[in-house]
Amino acid sequence: MKIIHKAAAELFGTFWLVFGGCGSAVLAAKFLDSANPNVNLGIGFVGVALAFGLTVLTMAYAIGHISGCHLNPAVSIGLVVGGRLPVRDLIPYIFAQVLGAIAGAGVLYLIASGKSGFQLSDGLASNGYGEHSPGGYSLQAAFITEAVLTFFFLFIILGATDKRSPIGFAGLPIGLGLTLILLIGIPVTNLSVNPARSTGPALYVGGWAIEQLWLFWVAPILGAILAGIVYPFIAGSPDDER
């Protein structure tokens, strides 16, 4: 498969992740009944977590055979460290992922801004810490959350896509794994574990979202690199079993 095809798949896949996941947070997480403002018909944290998981699950089967369905610079970097992705593919993958995330956030902005009272200052599902954390969590808590949950996300990916794992089912544990870590981390940072997903909305929100964006690159990448080292050490080589 040519790199142009892989990069295009990553672009459209990451668009879907940001538009679907962040879109569920912006458009559907809280939806008040017009007849009874005290009734919230929205999907809440659980629904948003499930939406992100479904974007990955659906794209895993749509483009997994083309690009591997990374949709995430941290995942791509971790897979390079783990020996699953050629180094030469890394920059095209990351470029496509970030571009797809920006496009997905842009379309979401166009839709969300069509509602009276919409304000970019509400965040467009941007990730943040301190006063911009949904639960008011500190920078330290946010960094640990992003690093640890990215580590386990990539650990799941490496295990699910191991040649010794059942063939054809990798999308299920990966999508459900993302759902689980979002259920844990949304209250802390709106959970990223994905620098591209963070970058897309942040570029439109500007200000604090850009200032805090560094954490959502550094922490996920560190967690992914560690997983790329640890999983091969634990799993060993298929040749070791002979």
Residue 172, judged by CB atoms within 10 A of its CB (0-12, 13-18, 19+), counts as middle
Indicate if the pLDDT at residue 208 is higher than 90. yes
CA distance 105 to 21: 10
pLDDT tens-digit series, residues 52-108:
999 999 999 999 999 999 999 999 999 999 999 999 999 999 999 999 999 999 999
Indicate if the pLDDT at residue 33 is higher than 70. no
CA distance 194 to 207: 20
Indicate if the pLDDT at residue 187 is higher than 90. yes
Indicate if the pLDDT at residue 178 is higher than 50. yes
With bands split at pLDDT 50, 70 and 90, how would you rate the model's confidence at 1? confident
What pLDDT is recorded for position 239? 54
pTM listed for this prediction: 0.93
Percent of the chain at pLDDT exceeding 90: 84
CATH of domain 3-241: 1.20.1080.10
Q: In the chain, what are the domain boundaries?
A: 3-241
